[in-house]
Amino acid sequence: MEAINNGQTFLGIELGSTRIKSVLIDKNHTLLASGSHEWENSLIDGNWTYGLDEVWGGLQASFCDLSQNVKKQYGVELKNVNAIGISAMMHGYLAFDKSDNLLVPFRTWRNTTTEEAAVALTEEFQFNIPQRWSIAHLYQAILNGESHIKDVAFITTLAGYVHWKLTGEKVLGIGDASGVFPIDSNVCNYDPAMVDKFNALIAPKNMGWTLQDLLPTVKNAGDKAGSLTSEGVKLLDPSGVLQPGAILCPPEGDAGTGMVATNSVAERTGNISAGTSIFAMIVLEKALSKVHMEIDMVTTPAGKPVAMVHCNNCCSDIDAWIKLFEESLGAFGASADKNTLYETLYRKALEGDTHCGGILTYNYYSGEPITGFDEGRPLLVRKPDAKFSLANVMRSLLFSAIGTLKIGMDILGGENVRMDQLLGHGGFFKTQGVGQRLMAAALNTPVSVMESAGEGGAWGIGILAAYAAQKTDDETLESYLTDKVFANEKGTTIEPCPGDVQGFTEYMKAYVSGLAIERAAVEN
């Protein structure tokens, strides 16, 4: 309570795909209270989007929930905090004119409408540019001849947008910036040679601007990136209780905060975030030997190069099936707590045949660039003699959530990328020992889950806020995390089970062959 009264706390807020979470931590990085707000993207005119009114309404609801929980738990109001961090889904496209008006609705990471631009830029840069990156969205709009493009004065990510409105500063943390435009880790800034190539590419179109005019300033972990203004505090807390003045760390993407939350920012460390989407981040010792369309090159919040395997689809199909099972219970007048329902059905998967008994599922709610899909169709397919049981269906749903990731991770294996540790976090790992065991089987490597992993990215950006406020002059992010955040951290590690490994290998053979079924569904 004393830390809250004295403003010696740190606020982390992360805008995820389905939830906006706020956490308050103390100087020792211990969670004091949290709050959240559920939200969903919308498919409007062929684009996945969130309205800006939903962004601010959701932020206010999440912060209000946190404030109310602080009042309930400690009997005090949350008036002051030392530092704040904002994180959100990476990538996407938020474009503003010189009067700060939004030019087109927010285009999120989930859109797969920029293939032409992504392929052209990858060829031009000899560096993989995924479809969801901001620069792909910008260039695709140019190629499409969209009317708004000559009026663009500033582009940013969702985290960068919220940070800008709270502080007045048009900046990005280097990890989030690495999903906007390629980063040169030697200078910790946008790659200057590629910036020049892009400007030369668009020069014949006479846009009236250069890329440097549009991009946010890059900041590194530990930098101070502005402070909460009087205008900003009204956007976050309309009640007027919270006071302005808190410093803000650079805004980061969910990939960077996941690395922080799992202490995976040093070379040869890696983490897997598995929720609505799934991605693995491996901090590299050296550059990959060639460009791989399936692998993104991004950075840690401290600017170190990271190989990222990103898949658009993970748990959405599992969630849909569990809602169906919940509805089935209701039809018989029964009910189950949602957490109990998830845990029971996840554990049921461990009772299934190791290869899922011939059940094959695809969790493609949206396109999946790694396997070459611009659109998706969730599918469950089986032969007449398949062992159609609840256990096998659940196991197949969990395997399907990992399938596309496995394809990308095998590419890194072919590059001899080494990992000393691989940590999992996100909803897929929430049921103890289930997602972790199946992930270990899929990747044939030990997978660890920390006790703190459930706090996720909001805790990670809260730690980055604390680092910006508390670090000593020469203290690196790696040493801060190891010595001050995770020194006494406990977790569990599961080794791959040979039977599970063999079963997943069999499943993946069918999965890869069956992609033709998925393509037929999309085309027809």
The confidence score (pLDDT) of residue 418 equals 87
Distance CA 469, CA 224 (A): 8
pTM of the model: 0.83
Dihedral sign (CA 51, 308, 342, 386):
positive
Distance CA 387, CA 380 (A): 13
The confidence score (pLDDT) of residue 237 equals 97
Q: What element of type H or E holds 491?
A: strand 491-494
Task: Measure the N-to-C terminal CA separation of the chain; round to a whole number of Å.
Answer: 60
Q: Which own/partner pairs from 473-477 qualify as long-range (CB within 8 Å, at least 24 positions apart)?
A: 475/222, 476/302, 477/221, 477/222, 477/260, 477/265, 477/300, 477/301, 477/302
The confidence score (pLDDT) of residue 453 equals 56
CATH number of the domain within which 59 lies: 3.30.420.40
SS3 469: helix
| Of residues 232, 235, 241, 230, the one with CA closest to residue 77 | 241
What are 268-281's pLDDT values in tens digits?
A: 999 998 988 898 99
Q: Are residues 331 and 280 in the same domain?
A: no
DSSP class per residue in 150-216:
GG--EEE-HHHHHHHHHHS--EEEHHHHTTTS-EETTTTEE-HHHHHHHHHHHGGG--S--HHHHSP
Residue 471 phi/psi, 5° resolution? -70, 150
Q: How many CB atoms lie within 10 A of CB 410?
A: 13
Between helices 390-414 and 435-443, what is the axis angle to 10°? 40
- β-pair partners for 155: 95
Q: Are residues 25 and 141 in the same domain?
A: yes
Q: Are residues 112 and 241 in the same domain?
A: yes
Q: Are residues 419 and 510 in the same domain?
A: no
Q: Are residues 464 and 438 in the same domain?
A: yes
DSSP class per residue in 261-301:
HTT--STTEEEEEESSSEEEEEE-SS--SS--TT-EEEE-T
Between helices 498-513 and 515-523, what is the axis angle to 10°? 40
Q: Are residues 320 and 309 in the same domain?
A: no
Q: Are residues 159 and 299 in the same domain?
A: no
What's the structural domain count of the chain? Answer: 3
Q: Are residues 50 and 67 in the same domain?
A: yes
Distance CA 131, CA 358 (A): 33
The confidence score (pLDDT) of residue 507 equals 98
Q: How many residues does the chain have?
A: 524
Q: Return averaged pLDDT per consecutive 10 residues of the chain, 524 residues in all.
A: 88 95 96 95 91 97 97 96 97 97 95 94 95 97 96 98 98 97 95 98 95 98 97 96 97 93 90 89 88 90 92 95 97 94 97 97 93 94 97 98 95 89 87 95 92 76 97 94 88 94 97 98 96
Distance CA 164, CA 473 (A): 26
Q: Are residues 125 and 183 in the same domain?
A: yes
Q: Are residues 58 and 152 in the same domain?
A: yes
129, with CB counted inside 10 A (0-12, 13-18, 19+), is buried
Range of the domain at 25: 2-253
Q: Are residues 421 and 463 in the same domain?
A: yes
Which residues lie below 8 Å from residue 72, measured CB to CB, with a gap of 6+? none
Dihedral sign (CA 244, 247, 249, 250):
positive
Quick one: CA torsion of 516, 517, 521, 524, rounded to 10 degrees? 70
**Residue 410 and residue 300 in contact, taking contact as beta carbons nearer than 8 Å:** no
The confidence score (pLDDT) of residue 74 equals 95
Q: Are residues 152 and 96 in the same domain?
A: yes
Q: How many CB atoms lie within 10 A of CB 148?
A: 12
- Looking at 253, 284, 302, which one is the last position of a domain? 253
The confidence score (pLDDT) of residue 276 equals 87
Angle of CA points 147, 151, 155, to nearest 5°: 105
**Residue 138 and residue 195 in contact, taking contact as beta carbons nearer than 8 Å:** no
